[in-house]
Amino acid sequence: MRIPFPHRFGGWQQAVSKPIEQRVCCDNLDSHSLSNRVMKPVLYFYASKAGAVPGGIVGKKKQKGLVIVESPAKARKIGEYLGRDYTVLASVGHIRDLPAKAAEIPPEFKKEPWATLGVNVTAQFEPLYVVPTEKKKIIKELKDAMKDVDELILATDEDREGESIGWHLAKVLNPKIPVKRMVFSEITKEAIQTALKNSRQLDENLVSAQETRRVLDRLYGYTLSPLLWKKIARGLSAGRVQSVAVRMLVQRELERLAFHSGKYWDLKAQLQTAGQAEFQAVLTSVDKQRVATGKDFDENTGKLKPNADVRLLDETEARDLLDSIKGGPWTVSQVESRQQTRSPYAPFTTSTLQQEANRKLGMTARATMQTAQRLYEDGYITYMRTDSVHLSTEAITAARSCVQTRYGDEYLSSEPRQYTTTSKGAQEAHEAIRPAGTEMKTAEELGLSDQQAKLYALIWKRTIATQMAEAKLTFQTVTIASGNAEFRATGRHVDFPGFFRAYVEGVDDADAVLDDQDSTLPPLEESATLNCKELEPVFHETKPPARFTEASLVRKLEAEGVGRPSTYATVIGTIQDRGYVRKANNQLIPTYTAMAVTRLLENYFPRLVDYKFTADMEQELDDIATGSRDRLPYLQRFYAGKEGLEEQVKANEENIDPRAACTLNFEGISANIRVGRYGPYLERKDNGEDVTASIPEDVAPADITNDKVEQLIHDKKQGPQSLGMHPEEGLPIYILRGPFGPYLQLGEVVEGEAKPKRVGIPKNMDPNSLPLETALALINLPRDLGQHPERGKKVTAGVGRFGPYVLHDKVYKSLGKDDNVLIVDLNQAVELLKQARTKQAAAPLRELGNHPEDGDPIGLYEGKYGPYVKHKKILATVPKDTPLETVTLEQALTWIAEKAAKGGGKRGKKSAGRKSPTKTAARKTKAGGTKKKAKKSKSGKSDDE
């Protein structure tokens, strides 16, 4: 046996002191040969199955090279392929960066005027790099490991960020041995060994481009953010890409606010052929004049466009037309048919993967990238940050073989299909996102589960589809005449599915038809007579522009050339974390704060949120990456001089009135909207008196109307309404309004006593005409509906934060908008519960290891309010700006210990208290609705994109 016990060789303490993620392992470990007492520490030292480097005792034999990657997971996987001659360690992300807080600034620089920026703007924008405390131990271990190797190999990611990490490693470690740069787009044995043979030098242009981005984003965020604190609110931030992304959302919200709906009528006919086949047709013209449709209306006026030569039908005209033509005859006047072929979509880039994962899987951009990172590090897919749609020859061959095997020769494209990258500034990696290797195994064959399986399956299908035959479709258009009216019916038939068998791209419009869906018309010939089974008038109302989803925002950012897809997940996460955006039903809704900040930036710094200016900045950064542009003139032009950012901020600061900056005036709204310390509120004068009223959280800027304004102000003036006394409790029942809508409260808030019972008023009940009997029934919820007929446990009905529900054995199911929580019975509840999705324990993004005290697992999770680590029932938040791929077991143990010391358990946002029924009660107690003082952010600055 090759493995000695700890007391039989030196250096044991030094080896065991390393974090488990970085410890090197030995091969041929026979766990059955060691006692349990000795086995546990030895496993930290030897970890051939989970670790990175087989081959002997650490420090005893000089090895060929030290390979450094970013993450422990990546180190373990690559170590399996390089063999015993190489040590593979992880830097755990960046080992140095610009100072994140004042405490990190070295003493000798603290008094410098540029110290808070972390960039010496007086000396060619030289960045001040500091090594965070937690990285010093890692650096020491990397330096120690270099003593026993012949060369240093930097194997960080192949994009600009990876090049930068590698460069910083080389600078900090200051090796006296040869340094090589090793790049690869997939973690397979063949790819790693090929990359090792084809190493290169660090690309100084890429490093310069990344450093310029970092400096630029720091100057942007740290110069503008303090201005927003002074003029609008603490904790806000500005960013080169995030501010433009917020502006896109705000502009769409303003379009919705300015939108005026157009109204029109037409007819819909249910027709039948002589062979009894039925289909639908819609009215298209009357007296040879086209009937108005939604596209003919001006969205700013709700009226027909001036040049629209159409017939606008009102209800009366539609019904009169119906009466005149219903009896027929109905005759087919024209039949048109056309064939079309569809080619497969290009393989995934970062952007298209984020879009499709959001549309098809409901995954956020952040969750998509985290899951893809895990798949990449585990060797299942190629590098996930790429603008390229190129596929390697090996990948194309593998995909074509897979098509033949799984679908047959008829579904294989006639020749290999390659794609050309056309996106602006494509620069990240050199191949599209695809399954790694050449076997093209499915998610099931790889044993993947949960989100990893779903995302991998999406990538697999998209890749395989690229080498499949084109789909063939037939589109049919039939014109039917009846009297002075013409109707049209359309159909589509998939003649040959081709690549549709593997993959069909999703759409943002929920009403749109997917490519592979059939809606075939029956066989029809010109002059054929039809029978009208049913004819009905249909009312239409034009809809405002749809709000952005994460998928459509990513597409818009990419189309405008703003930022790079590799940063979109971070940007979208940041604008939500900063309170600029809230998400509802997959829509990204800008807050009133976002409206105020965007208006300030548009008025005083228009270039910084201009799409073209931001895209040009991106192109200039790409030029620096290729070496065709110098960084210094670019930074000087952006920041210094009369037109530079520094002088612009100084010149405008005095001109910006904080009150005006926090006041929004929407056209047609009879009150000002103020962005206050505790949220948005209405403000106006009534009879010379200032009146204010809070705006509920669920009222979006584009949804505010004068009726809503009057209602909110009326409720505020009126004060809490007592509907009457509770007959058993002897307490009044009040109607109040909170951030989540109207609710009932039993009694008043009294300091030192338990909070009064509250229950939300369902949306299908009018709070302004709620009778006492209904209020009593609501305040007495939840209702006991009886025992579940199959499981025997109690079923109840109640109202929660998200509305009415039925509950059985911890399984909730929301009631429909037409269901009444007060009359729903057991049978209805049982049927609804059958539709409920049983809540499953969340799958971790990554297992970090086991707790040293009890051996229970510790995992890294993505939660509603951000990432966290979990041990048993203790959930500890991952500190902001910590890259999730770098989180280690050692860090998690520290956070969990800190949370446990505070008596922490489950995470979650504390809901703001609701207003108490009387001003006196509110003054006497902290509970019941006086607003809590907002916590100040440690740093509202943002130098993220």
User: Which residues does the annotation mark as catalytic?
Assistant: 383
**How far from each other are the two terminal CA atoms of the chain, in whole angstroms?**
54
**Locus of tokens 């399986």:** 453
Q: Are 799 and 780 in contact (CB under 8 A)?
A: no
Residue entry with tokens 């596209």: 295
Rounded-to-integer distance, Cα 902 and Cα 894, Å: 13
How do beta strands 119-120 and 86-90 pair?
unpaired
CA distances from 349 to 206, 362, 638 (A): 20, 18, 31
Residue 826, classified by CB atoms within 10 Å of its CB into exposed (0-12), middle (13-18) or buried (19+), is: middle
Q: Which residues contact 935 (CB under 8 A, 6 or more apart)?
A: none
Phi–psi pair at 155, nearest 5 degrees: -115, 35
DSSP string, 253-312: HHHHHH----EEEEEEEEEE-TTS-EEEEEEEEETTEEBP-GGGB-TTTSSB-TT---BP
Neighbours of 532 (CB within 10 A): 19
340-356 in b/e burial notation, b at 16+ Cβ within 10 A?
A: eebebbbbbbbbbbbbb
Please state the φ and ψ torsions of residue 486, each to the nearest 5 degrees.
-125, 140
Instruction: Please give the Cα distance from 173 to 97 (Å, whole number).
Output: 15
- Cβ-based burial of 185 (10 A; exposed 0-12, middle 13-18, buried ≥19): buried
Residue-wise DSSP of 602-658: HHH-GGGG-HHHHHHHHHHHHHHHHTSS-HHHHHHHHHSSTTSHHHHHHHHHTT--H
Helix (H, G, I), strand (E, B) or coil at 192: helix
Give me the phi and psi of 663, to 5 degrees please: -115, 125
**Strand bridging mode 857-863 / 846-850:** antiparallel
**Contact indicator for 643, 605 with CB cutoff of 8 Å:** no
- 289-290/278-286 β-pairing: antiparallel
Instruction: Give the Cα-Cα-Cα angle 883, 884, 888 (nearest 5 degrees).
Output: 105
In our burial notation (b when 16+ CB lie closer than 10 A, e otherwise), range 785-798 reads beebeeeeeebebb
Nearest residue to 478 (alpha-carbon basis) of 442, 526, 422: 526
Token pair in block for residue 177: 């041995």
Is the separation of the CB atoms in 781 and 797 below 8 Å? Answer: yes
The single-letter DSSP state of residue 200 is B
Does residue 550 sit in helix, strand or coil? helix
Structure tokens at 823: 């009359």
Beta strands in 431-470 (DSSP E): none
Nearest residue to 269 via CA among 486, 535, 539, 519: 535
